[in-house]
A and B are shown apart, each in its own frame.
Chain A
């Protein structure tokens, strides 16, 4: 059993609790024990840095300070907004003694920024392909998946060297090893509309429609994501997209941990897949 610090963030314990269920179940099956950060707070997300730069560092800095206090050398943040904010703050802290001092004073905890923050892809990369392959109980045969990274997962590129920012392939590498077929398509890193889903749904319905259409046009029977926001826009909004554009997409949207969990033999309920909006059972195109 490996112990890893776990920062859920707001989404995973709210609207995207299916994601948390999936992450926990799959990592459990892979002998990774998650130690949830005690007393974690908001990462700042997209709001903090638009109004106050200091606040946008202080919020993640407090979470990093907690991780250090609670002995977590590594911290998993499955939401890419959270992982990016934590990584950015960690780097800024590690680079500047003055900032470390200032932030330690503000959050009233010593913080150095030495915690290694991982997103969902990185944790599976760390577990490694040999270990993943060895744990496969049901290879992902019949799955033809479009891997969708969205805007955040591989950015900022200077800080996230685990994959190429513009032509990422890390999810493909993992899923191919588990028996899935991955499709070459064009919208891997395009915007899904993200938070515009609240302010201007029309934008999301257009952008996400393009993503779904392109994936289907290139032969995908499902899409895999590693971001709660992407999942909301592609899954929950799919019915609205179909209605708006007068088409039928009928594409299941999985979290990366869903597909890995299915390959490990976990069932849909355990992984929270039954809580998705586009749900297919038995006669699903991907036969899972």
Chain B
């Protein structure tokens, strides 16, 4: 005889507005096995939880049903309450009468009837629940961080400083990411390199950070606490242990006109190069697409110049394995391509802006290099076409962003701020110059942000026009920018010397491939998905894998750094335990009925079903059977569905429980 308690939550108005909670509680008392039923305004609050605890103790309840929100939201909360009252947490069931009922229905009578049905099913199920014990697994206390921009660097330093090892993987030859190429940063105008490069050095020298550059994650196996990462160390053709970074090689390289990725094509590099002087590691790499020795077998000057003998033209990619307990993804962003050519059919470009056609139409990251002291012009603002100082510069915001017609509906969030910054940097260098900004809205929420934009307008006299630019053409060395000033209600034509386009932020190339390798979610724009937008903002739906920085959504430096520290904090929480507890709601095999057909072994997506031998005491083989690896099983139930002899079953979701739920409805 069961003694089940039913607790119906109002969720304030969320449930009670559409579902008659009193009626649900009263109806529950009629279900077989129900000993007690109650309702309360906020069951998840402390008084609500204490109501549950008290009733478990007072009525010696042996199972409870909470009719409330989604189990994703509060199953953990109510399991905790049950455990505090001495009830096994796996004897708690949720009837989701919010997302599955009150939020999606209007008719109160029908919604109430449905809520009663949902509770009836949950009661039928909980009566057949088994008390389960959490599975304990060991934790490898090493973190893998993918991407070494400012977010990855922050997370790596936080974890390493806390005393744990970090494996930091970066696909470029240096750490630093996009931030290393920025000029000055809003709203304080700190020099980007001045605040970042010390941290890059820390990463390079930290005894607990193992840094891989020119490397990518090839695959990840295993499960939370016990991942095995395979890293592809791409051929760099330079042995960075032998190399001293003296620079003889790149100064001698005859391939001088290779467009520099770090300068976004605004400057040149050699075929053997370090991306920028402050690179970490300060070791060159050879671009195999540009190197004459690697392409045609001629030259070889760098090897002759290298006193350390560090050049190795025969270098090959290597695959290296690293045991890992937790993973942080910090792969950052790229800019939307403005020209008509686009990487996918969902996106379309702005042919009317002439980007790629007119040399003096550049994007915002190119402008950053143009004003950066470390940039190709040494921070002197010269336009790309003829090197002249531009006297009129037009900045266009929302290029791509918030434009459904181009395939991007979101706001890139940082462009309003950096455009204001650009106008100030420009004015500080070209005193007689005039900055013009075309904008849709100015979105400058943030500490000291709106004040900053006002400063650009009021002190540095940037002219702001609320409206879009329809066309840019070139006449006699001038860019003719035609747009609208919708506040004045007039068309505007500006003869500009330089145009800077604030292009939308998109996730970095390949982040969707990486997400599939890691089995984490991403949205329609390719940004990685958090587990819960408010309460689990850096977790993913795969245990032990966290995200931070612009791979998650467009964000600025302070936000990326905060999120990186949050992700590091989550990793440290995990590493603070000797062993991890895993959810015991996983598959099990009845080895006495298993016919060893191994259909489950073939279909398990996590390689958790294994072949095993059953032996007697003398060691003789009695039979063969399938067996579930408790560390790997994710409880998906695929084996249960394919097992022809019904030997596989899922703890917490057994066939018996599911049938009981269905029967209760009939």
Other-chain contact of B350, A158, A166, A186, A187 (Cβ < 8 Å): A166
Do A167 and B473 touch across chains, with their CB atoms under 8 A apart? no
Other-chain contact of A167, B354, B474, B475, B480 (Cβ < 8 Å): B354
Question: A36–B298 Cα gap in the complex (Å)?
Answer: 65
Question: A48–B84 Cα gap in the complex (Å)?
Answer: 75
Other-chain contact of A186, B348, B349, B475 (Cβ < 8 Å): B475
Do A186 and B352 touch across chains, with their CB atoms under 8 A apart? no
A187 to chain B, nearest CB (A): 8
User: Any chain B CB within 8 A of the CB of A165?
Assistant: yes
List, in ascending order, chain A residues with CB within 8 A of B494's CB: none
* Contacting residues of chain A (113-172) with chain B, CB-CB under 8 angstroms: 157-158, 164-168
List, in ascending order, chain B residues with CB within 8 A of A157's CB: 348, 405
Question: A164–B356 Cα gap in the complex (Å)?
Answer: 14
* Contacting residues of chain B (346-367) with chain A, CB-CB under 8 angstroms: 348-352, 354, 357
Q: Is the interface of A mostly helix, strand, loop or mixed?
A: loop
Closest to A168 in B: B351
Do A166 and B473 touch across chains, with their CB atoms under 8 A apart? no
Do A165 and B474 touch across chains, with their CB atoms under 8 A apart? no
User: Any chain A CB within 8 A of the CB of B642?
Assistant: no
Do A165 and B475 touch across chains, with their CB atoms under 8 A apart? no
Q: Is the interface of B mostly helix, strand, loop or mixed?
A: mixed
Other-chain contact of B352, A158, A167, A187 (Cβ < 8 Å): A167
List, in ascending order, chain A residues with CB within 8 A of B349's CB: 164
Do A186 and B473 touch across chains, with their CB atoms under 8 A apart? yes
List, in ascending order, chain A residues with CB within 8 A of B405's CB: 157-158
Interface string of A156-196 (1 = CB under 8 A from B): 01100000111110000000000000000011000000000
Other-chain contact of B351, A158, A164, A186, A187 (Cβ < 8 Å): A164
Question: A167–B473 Cα gap in the complex (Å)?
Answer: 11
B424 to chain A, nearest CB (A): 31
Do A166 and B352 touch across chains, with their CB atoms under 8 A apart? yes
A154 to chain B, nearest CB (A): 9
List, in ascending order, chain A residues with CB within 8 A of B351's CB: 164-168
Closest to B475 in A: A186
Other-chain contact of B357, A158, A165, A167 (Cβ < 8 Å): A167
* Number of residue pairs A-B, CB distance < 8 angstroms: 23
B176 to chain A, nearest CB (A): 35
User: Any chain A CB within 8 A of the CB of B340?
Assistant: yes
A246 to chain B, nearest CB (A): 21
Do B474 and A186 touch across chains, with their CB atoms under 8 A apart? yes
Question: A266–B471 Cα gap in the complex (Å)?
Answer: 38
Closest to A186 in B: B473
Question: A168–B474 Cα gap in the complex (Å)?
Answer: 17
Other-chain contact of B340, A158, A167, A186, A187 (Cβ < 8 Å): A167
B477 to chain A, nearest CB (A): 13
* Contacting residues of chain B (389-428) with chain A, CB-CB under 8 angstroms: 405
Question: A131–B617 Cα gap in the complex (Å)?
Answer: 83
List, in ascending order, chain B residues with CB within 8 A of A158's CB: 405
A249 to chain B, nearest CB (A): 18
Question: A128–B346 Cα gap in the complex (Å)?
Answer: 27
* Contacting residues of chain A (97-114) with chain B, CB-CB under 8 angstroms: none
Question: A186–B473 Cα gap in the complex (Å)?
Answer: 6
Closest to B352 in A: A166
Question: A150–B139 Cα gap in the complex (Å)?
Answer: 67
A217 to chain B, nearest CB (A): 8
Interface string of B327-353 (1 = CB under 8 A from A): 000000000000010000000111110
Question: A158–B406 Cα gap in the complex (Å)?
Answer: 10
A156 to chain B, nearest CB (A): 11
Question: A165–B474 Cα gap in the complex (Å)?
Answer: 19
List, in ascending order, chain B residues with CB within 8 A of A187's CB: 473
Question: A167–B475 Cα gap in the complex (Å)?
Answer: 17
- Which of A157, A165, A187 has the most chain B CB atoms inside 10 A of its CB? A165
Interface string of B465-494 (1 = CB under 8 A from A): 000000101110000100000000000000
Closest to A154 in B: B351
Interface string of B625-644 (1 = CB under 8 A from A): 00000000000000000000
Closest to B354 in A: A167
Closest to B349 in A: A164
Closest to B355 in A: A167
A172 to chain B, nearest CB (A): 13
List, in ascending order, chain A residues with CB within 8 A of B340's CB: 164, 166-167
Closest to B470 in A: A166
Question: A166–B348 Cα gap in the complex (Å)?
Answer: 11
List, in ascending order, chain B residues with CB within 8 A of A168's CB: 351
A166-B471, A168-B351 known; 15 other A-B pairs, CB under 8 Å?
A157-B348, A157-B405, A158-B405, A164-B340, A164-B349, A164-B351, A166-B350, A166-B352, A167-B351, A167-B352, A167-B354, A186-B473, A186-B474, A186-B480, A187-B473
Binding site for A on B (CB under 8 A): 340, 348-352, 354, 357, 405, 471, 473-475, 480
18 A-B pairs with C-beta separation under 8 A? A157-B348, A157-B405, A158-B405, A164-B340, A164-B349, A164-B351, A165-B351, A166-B340, A166-B350, A166-B351, A166-B352, A166-B471, A167-B352, A167-B354, A186-B473, A186-B474, A186-B475, A187-B473
Q: 9 nearest interchain CB pairs?
A: A167-B351, A166-B351, A186-B473, A166-B352, A164-B340, A164-B351, A167-B340, A165-B351, A166-B350
